[in-house]
Amino acid sequence: MSHPLIAALATLLAFVVGLTLPDVDMALWLGHRSAVTHSVLLPGVLLARRRWWPGACGFGGGLGLHLAADFFPNRMIGFATVKLPLVGALSAAGSYWWLGVNALACLGLAAWVLRRLHAGGAAVLVAGAAGVAGAAYLWRTDGGWPVLAIVAVLVWGAWRWRRA
């Protein structure tokens, strides 16, 4: 992807896909919150080729927000726990650990690729549009409110720190 506009659009499309694609695990008989679809594995695979980096960036960001929201279920039992193929469900503590580590890894991957792939105005455009889409997703999804609150505090803190 050599053209910046195409790379930006591909990143945003992949971001939107990343917000909801992890729940395809139910249709694939992997069990809800499968470790395969709820991990940094899929965006990590997209790092294999530089031309796939817009997908890695967007999908990693969307998946990271999805996993962050999944970190806040009503109760971490049964349907809410992470399922490992051929092993079964993780404990509540293991599921929290899995979701938290993978959410941070996905968001870190997305930020790392964003800095290397999109320059200047394109980076601001992609991050801003993804921020709006991500906030809209978190506003309406279970577990989204705590993530919105955490992000708001982090953004406020960063803003205050930069002004100091």
Sketch the domain layout of the chain as residue ranges: 4-163
**pLDDT at residue 2 in the model:** 62
Asked whether the beta carbons of 41 and 59 are under 8 A apart, the reply is no
Give the residues across from 117 on adjacent strands. none
**pLDDT at residue 5 in the model:** 84
DSSP state, residue 80: G
**pLDDT at residue 1 in the model:** 53
**pLDDT at residue 98 in the model:** 97
**pLDDT at residue 121 in the model:** 81
**pLDDT at residue 120 in the model:** 81
Tokens in use for 113? 């690729």
Q: How many CA atoms lie within 13 A of 45 on its CB side?
A: 5
**pLDDT at residue 31 in the model:** 77
Report, as ranges of residue numbers, the positions in the chain whose pLDDT lies below 70.
1-2
Name the nearest CA neighbour of 11 among 68, 56, 63, 67.
Answer: 56
Neighbours of 100 (CB within 10 A): 14
**pLDDT at residue 3 in the model:** 84
Distances (CA, A) of 58 to 4, 43, 85: 14, 9, 26
